[in-house]
Amino acid sequence: MRPLNDTETEFPRPEYPRPMLVREDWLNLNGVWEFAFDDADEGLREQWHTLPQLDRRILVPFAYQTELSGIHDKGIHEVVWYARNFDAPEAWRGQDLLLHFGTVDYRATVWVNGEEVGHNQGGHVPFSFDIAPYVKDGANRIVLRVEDRQDRHQPRGKQAASGVAKGCDYYCTTGIWQTVWLEPVPPIRISELRVTPDLEESAFEMRVFLHAPSIGWWLEAEVLDKEEVIARAVEETAGASARLRLTLSDPKPWSPDVPHLYDLRVRLYQDDELLDEVRSYAGLRSVQVKAGKVWLNGAPVYLVMVLDQGYWPDGGMTAPSDEALRADVEWAKRFGFNGARKHQKVEDPRWLYWCDRLGLLVWGEMANARTWSLRAEEIFLAEWERAVRRDYNHPCIITWVPVNESWGAPGLGKGHPGQYAYLERIVALTRRIDPERPVVDNDGWEHTDVSDIVAIHDYTATKADLLERYAETLKTGVLPELSWGKSPLRYFARGSEYRGQPVVLSEVGGLLSLPDAPKEQWDGLYGIYSFCETDEELLEKYGDLMEGIALLHFTVGFCYTQLTDIEQEINGLLTYDRRPKVEPERIAEIHRRLFPGSYR
């Protein structure tokens, strides 16, 4: 790919990046930035934050490993630097000025005009700094140093700790991989909204958090349905938070088939002066776990989900466009899925926006470490808390999944009590942030007593083998023994047992089909649970597997692996560049025929 230059006209990802808290004024800083590798880690000592220019160019928000970045270097570079100049609009003078990073993987230090303004650790969550004290008239300069070690202790999800794509791990993502932007805000401002739907009472409970307290301020919140104000609440307080309740007279629930959303408008006043105004949206829906089932809006729902890992061939973990994020949601719905398990990634908020807008249930999952230490526990918990807070308001999210297959937890398959204590600690934290949604403690196996759902990974490939495997379960309800390769595993951790929770086959299928590599290279592919040489064979085997799952009456849903191919993992219903391997409507017809309990 040709090198980028200062006159590059591309302006990637121009859409507003934070759909849950919208202000009118903002400035997108995506585009061409200066860039440098710092393999000798000498930039701090040599004060690169004072340099007039860095030697390379990169297209933000794409990581240097990707084609769209303009660099496309798959090698390991654990320290990188970014820089760019900007002019702050004159109309923004006298306000605070927030510099937002959608997310930066993994550890970042930021300078503005040579002054250090802040730090962040966590590769899947947003952060921001008020840079108004450092900004001057005319040209200003942002410099960012990023450290992303090949550290198995940090939450990395599917990023290979070796740096080489292999097995079910992919190439790494280092540095900026979501939108960078500026936002002028008043010193006393709305910093966070926390909206909880109450379907039974036809109301929204809203908690508003301010950046700072002030005497004499009051809040006005409104619910709008197609521009018409249908509910309003006012609250006066001198503290830095307030609680409002907005009751609807003619409620319209949100569901996958009818994803009705209400617009929200919140204004902050001091006396009669308008200080701040933000817009958001909400869906009125309920999710519960009871009687061994998952309930949506007061009725049992059968979960027909697909595993979605959120990688693109040219952008890695960063979608090339907002339209690409929307298209993945539309593909899932065309295949007849009513939900997606976003796997080992806290996805771009714009993807969740499209799930809300178009109607797709989501299991929200955190990127895990690949080994355990006390440090790994603490940095995981800190980032997971921020992820849950960021995404709390999205109606599409119905379940939280902090850990997958004991990754980042000690004693895989060995009954280590430290693992169980860690899982219970994670679930307790999640429930304290969000008591409304169920939590899966350890997706796949080795559940503790605290898991709301028993999530099982089972790649049994045929109806006949599936019915043989679960024959005793169908008679007695007792789950069979589980093994993964040579590792003995348990569905429940030592001392724990099944307590009537819903059972979901949260990874099934993995039917490999249509690999681009010739047959002599198939040994390098991952996920060959069952190979299909033609479209019709894939459709036939998919239908056979689904018929088997439909007969497992003790389950309340499944998640098929997976939506798209990714690098060497060729088991998607779509190719890596999003071409369907079979007609989506034919897969959807199988779902409609076999799973009438799916919500619609």
Q: How far apart are CA 130 and CA 491, in angstroms?
A: 48
**Same-domain status, 230 and 358:** no
Domain CATH code at residue 173? 2.60.120.260
**Same-domain status, 473 and 399:** yes
Identify the bridge partners of residue 147 per DSSP, sorted by sequence position.
79, 107
Two tokens, residue 71: 């660099």
Residues (pLDDT < 70) of the chain are 1-10, 410-416, 483-488, 514-524, 527-529, 598-600
DSSP 482-533: EEETTEEE-SB-TT----S--EEEEEEE-EEE--SS-GGGGGG-B--SEEES
**Same-domain status, 166 and 261:** no
pTM: 0.96
Domain CATH code at residue 265? 2.60.40.10
Residue 67 DSSP one-character state: G
Region of 538 please: left (phi>0), alpha (psi -120 to 50) or beta. Answer: alpha
214 and 270 in contact (C-beta within 8 Å)?
A: yes
Two tokens, residue 332: 């899932």
363 occurs within a structural domain: yes
Q: How far apart are CA 289 and CA 294, in angstroms?
A: 5
The domain total for the chain is 3
Query: What pLDDT shows up at residue 319?
Result: 98
**Same-domain status, 427 and 491:** yes
Residue 444's closest CA among 380, 511, 507?
507
**Structural domain for 110, as ranges:** 27-185
Two tokens, residue 67: 């084609």
Write down which residue in 248, 267, 282 finishes a domain: 282
218 occurs within a structural domain: yes
Q: Which residues are CB-contacts of 406 (< 8 A; sequence separation ≥ 6)?
A: 412, 413, 419, 442, 444, 445, 446
Two tokens, residue 418: 């430290």
What is the CA angle 150-34-67, rounded to 5? 60
Query: What pLDDT shows up at residue 216?
Result: 85
14 occurs within a structural domain: no
Length of the chain: 600
What is the CA angle 551-555-556, rounded to 5? 110
Write down which residue in 185, 219, 238 finishes a domain: 185
Q: How far apart are CA 354 and CA 327, in angstroms?
A: 9
Q: How far apart are CA 54 and CA 111, in angstroms?
A: 14
**Same-domain status, 414 and 464:** yes
Residue 241's closest CA among 271, 204, 207, 266?
207
Phi, psi of 486 (to 5 degrees): -95, 5
Two tokens, residue 263: 């617009």
61 occurs within a structural domain: yes
Q: pLDDT digit string (tens) for 497-532?
A: 888 999 999 999 999 876 555 665 566 677 666 788
Strand 262-270 and strand 273-282: the pairing is antiparallel
Write down which residue in 159, 185, 211 finishes a domain: 185
Two tokens, residue 146: 């990023």
**Same-domain status, 132 and 224:** no
176 occurs within a structural domain: yes
Handedness of CA 339, 343, 349, 354 (dihedral sign): negative
**Same-domain status, 181 and 197:** no
488 in helix, strand or coil?
A: strand
Q: Which residues are CB-contacts of 532 (< 8 A; sequence separation ≥ 6)?
A: 511, 512, 513, 514, 538, 541
For residue 105, give the amino acid letter. Answer: D
Q: How far apart are CA 45 and CA 159, in angstroms?
A: 29
Q: Which residues are CB-contacts of 133 (< 8 A; sequence separation ≥ 6)?
A: none
For residue 171, give the amino acid letter. Answer: Y
207 and 241 in contact (C-beta within 8 Å)?
A: yes
Write the burial class of residue 467 (CB in 10 Å: 0-12 exposed, 13-18 middle, 19+ buried): middle
**Same-domain status, 268 and 173:** no
439 and 501 in contact (C-beta within 8 Å)?
A: no
Strand 104-105 and strand 175-176: the pairing is antiparallel
Domain CATH code at residue 445? 3.20.20.80
Residue 410 DSSP one-character state: S
Residue 423 DSSP one-character state: H
Two tokens, residue 390: 């960021």
Q: How far apart are CA 438 and CA 62, in angstroms?
A: 34
Kindly state the helix (H) or strand (E) to which residue 541 belongs, with its residue range: helix 535-550
